[in-house]
Amino acid sequence: MDRHETSQPWADSETNLHFQMVNVAEKSLTKRKAEATGTIRMSNEAFSLVRDKKLPKGDALALAEMAGISAAKQTANLLPLCHPLPLELVQVKCSLEEAHQSVRVQCVVATTAKTGVEMEALTGASVALLCLYDLIKMVDPALVVEQVRLNYKNGGKNGHWNHPESNLESKVDRSKKESLLAPLLLGVKCSVVTISDRVSQGFSQDAAGPIAVNWFNEHRATLLDSSLVPDEKVRIQSVVRDLIKQGSQLIVTTGGTGMGPRDVTIQALQEISTKEIRGIGEFLRQEGSKVKRTSWLSSSTAFIIDKTLILALPGSPNAVFQGLTSLTHLIPHALHITNGGNHG
């Protein structure tokens, strides 16, 4: 057999070892992003030299950042079963933490691909730390590299994941982020309705509703209410009407958009709506299908009732996160039009 015929996983019959790359041929291209961090602790003397850029080998932070970027781009060459990816973003930042006499390394990597960039982020952070080690060891051999971990990853069928121990944003960073996002839904009165027999009866936890609540909070909306109702048309209609009376300008419903006999959300909202915005449903299915083909089976859509915009999303937490994220910059304009604004 020549080398072009080796389509089977590599195996060694003597040692019974078995290796293969994961086949991603059937996956769809989606936006992927990941962040990894780690720290290196040192003596007071070494920290002062790093801070003042007086190490014998020069500016350690700048060189470590370059080393991390270069390493992230070479990940597939270092890890045998890692897929080579066309990286669109690699950011490596080294921050001094004087209180702990340490340097914190942050590596963020992004791409549009069929598989994630977790290993690229971890490789970038790890090599940046090793570069710092190499530059500092001549003045302090008792260095400690620690807490290297993946903080978060976005994209793919699993959506967003956070490391349970990670603190992704400092208070300063969070404040800056909120100030940047403030204009998006600032002052908009919003509500969330989780539609599920099992959740409303206490048999399972609501995982989708809190995603929408967090999204509203992130974009500085005014949250009026978060409700739980069973898959019953009359109850759904009653709750939605009450929320509109309370002044809700934007309502997100989660659940009841599938093909099951108890999935009645869309029919319930159609019966009381002024208008259906079918383009939003088409857009949601198109975006969702990039991650999960079964998104085409969802009847997600949007409605207008009087001057309230209603987004009817699936009951999956990932679908809610991806749906709201994809609609982020459409929603303000949709609200503007719903309230009588022009199309300009």
Q: Give tens-digit pLDDT for 224-261.
A: 999 999 999 999 999 999 999 999 999 999 999 999 99
Domain assignment present for residue 2? The answer is no
Q: pLDDT confidence of 178, banded at 50, 70, 90?
A: very low
Nearest-angstrom CA–CA distance, 33 and 155: 7
Domain assignment present for residue 162? The answer is yes
Nearest 10 degrees: Cα torsion 190, 281, 229, 206 = -80
DSSP state of 259: S
Burial 227-260 (b: 16+ CB within 10 A, else e): bbbbbbeebbbebbeebbeeebbbbbbbbbbbee
**In terms of domains, do 178 and 140 share one?**
no
The count of domains in the chain is 2
**In terms of domains, do 124 and 210 share one?**
no
Confidence check: pLDDT of 173 > 60: no
For residues 199 and 25, the model is more confident at 199
Structure confidence at residue 326 (pLDDT):
87
**In terms of domains, do 87 and 226 share one?**
no
**In terms of domains, do 295 and 308 share one?**
yes
Mean pLDDT taken over the chain: 87
Nearest-angstrom CA–CA distance, 143 and 64: 15
Domain assignment present for residue 5? The answer is no
Domain range enclosing 70: 24-168
Alpha helix ranges (H) inside 96-230 = 118-136, 171-185, 197-200, 209-218
Confidence check: pLDDT of 15 > 70: no
**Which residues have C-beta within 8 Å of that of residue 341, sequence separation ≥ 6?**
none
173 counts as catalytic = no
CATH number at residue 283: 3.40.980.10
Nearest-angstrom CA–CA distance, 210 and 199: 13
**Which residues have C-beta within 8 Å of that of residue 94, sequence separation ≥ 6?**
60, 61, 64, 65, 103, 104, 105, 106, 128, 132
Domain assignment present for residue 61? The answer is yes
**In terms of domains, do 230 and 147 share one?**
no
**In terms of domains, do 207 and 275 share one?**
yes
Confidence check: pLDDT of 192 > 70: yes
Structure confidence at residue 5 (pLDDT):
40
CA 172 from centroid of its chain's CA atoms: 21
**In terms of domains, do 177 and 320 share one?**
yes
Residues 101-128: pLDDT tens digits? Answer: 999 999 999 998 888 999 999 999 999 9
**In terms of domains, do 294 and 194 share one?**
yes
Q: Which residue among 143, 168, 193 closes a domain?
A: 168
Burial 185-224 (b: 16+ CB within 10 A, else e): beebbbbbbbbbeebbeeeeebbbbbbbbebbeebbbbeb
Domain assignment present for residue 227? The answer is yes
- The bridge status of strand 161-162 relative to strand 144-154 is antiparallel
Confidence check: pLDDT of 213 > 60: yes
Token digits of residue 297: 């089976």
Which is the catalytic residue, given 2, 52, 134, 225? Answer: 134
In the Cβ-directed half-sphere of 105, how many Cα atoms lie within 13 Å? Answer: 37
In the Cβ-directed half-sphere of 48, how many Cα atoms lie within 13 Å? Answer: 3
State the greatest distance between any 2 C-alpha atoms of the chain, in Å, as a whole number: 75
Structure confidence at residue 2 (pLDDT):
42
Q: Which residue among 138, 168, 198 closes a domain?
A: 168
Q: Which amino acid is located at 284 in the chain?
A: L
CA angle, corner 101, sides to 97 and 103, nearest 5?
50
Confidence check: pLDDT of 13 > 80: no
Most confidently predicted of 16-25, 30-39, 149-158: 30-39
Q: pLDDT confidence of 175, banded at 50, 70, 90?
A: very low
Q: pLDDT confidence of 11, banded at 50, 70, 90?
A: low
Confidence check: pLDDT of 156 > 50: yes
Nearest-angstrom CA–CA distance, 147 and 38: 5
Token digits of residue 316: 């999956």
Q: pLDDT confidence of 155, banded at 50, 70, 90?
A: confident
CATH number at residue 150: 3.30.70.640
**In terms of domains, do 72 and 134 share one?**
yes
